[in-house]
Amino acid sequence: MKIRFHHFIIAFSLLSVVGWSANYTEWIVKKYQTYALYYTKFDEKNTNEYSKFIDNGITSVKDFFDASYKKSFDVYIHPNRVSLDSQWRRDWNMPGFKSECWMVASGVANKLDIISPKLWDIESCEHKYADKIKTQQLITHELVHVFHGQLNASPDFSDATGIDWFVEGLATYASGQCDSARIAKVKKAIAENKIPVSLDKFWTGKLKYGLSGSVVMFIDHKYGRSKLKALLSFNKNTEILAALNITEPALLNDLKTYLESLKN
């Protein structure tokens, strides 16, 4: 029997400042083939369950891109939102940052931070752990960001210009979140002439996931998976358009035509 991902496991305690309290927090780590899972005593009983979601997500990402991650990365399971916010403040150099209630995770080239999924009912206003399909898609979404970051000119996307639509659209599409319900809402917005007139505005508003995901879905359909993957290294919108040899207005016009041709 081939053992996938669980190549070896080592558990030990680490002391690390996470900032959500005045004290040090004891992190425990389990090492897997592709990632190291960091968690607190609170989640000790949940690690096997969570690692299955991560393993499934990694497999989905590798299958989608027909490629492996370039390097291993860390996954931090935070015991509460305060812990996650503290980490984001340091990572993003935003001392006063406070996350919105729907934010539960983030992924960049070297790590994924996530609030313990079993606490989403308490810590989130939007996500429910009991919905295992959406839970898996969300974790896979963040793992797409990790894969993308490992290929991008800006591994944490901090030095990126005008590609929010692509970063988030790629993760939405590749994770399976760009479903028929989201596409139907985008098609309705097109019919009512209510979609943004520039890509820079696609990652805004209530339809941002569907809008951004639909563009990436269209690129995949028109140009193919290899071309889509080749875009992952770019950190500027102008570079993506140049690689596709298309202007932004032409891309948006082709997108509308493509979506209108899809059956409901």
Q: Which residue stretches of 71-207 are H helix?
A: 81-92, 120-123, 132-151, 164-174, 180-191
* Secondary structure of residue 28 in the 3-state scheme: strand
Residues of the chain with CATH 3.40.30: 11-151
Residue in 71, 77, 45, 43 with CA at minimum distance from that of residue 58: 71
- Which residues, including other chains, have CB under 8 Å from residue 174's CB and lie 6 or more apart? 60, 61, 64, 65, 140, 141, 144, 216
Tens digit of pLDDT at every position of the chain (264 positions): 433 333 333 333 343 433 434 335 689 999 999 999 999 999 999 999 999 999 999 999 999 999 999 999 999 999 999 999 999 999 999 999 999 999 999 999 999 999 999 999 999 999 999 999 999 999 999 999 999 999 999 999 999 999 999 999 999 999 999 999 999 999 999 999 999 999 999 999 999 999 999 999 999 999 999 999 999 999 999 999 999 999 999 999 999 999 999 886
C-alpha count within 13 angstroms, C-beta hemisphere, residue 184 = 5
Q: Which CATH class is domain 11-151?
A: alpha beta
What was the pLDDT predicted at 13? 38
Strand partners, 161: 236
What pLDDT is stored for residue 263 in this prediction? 80
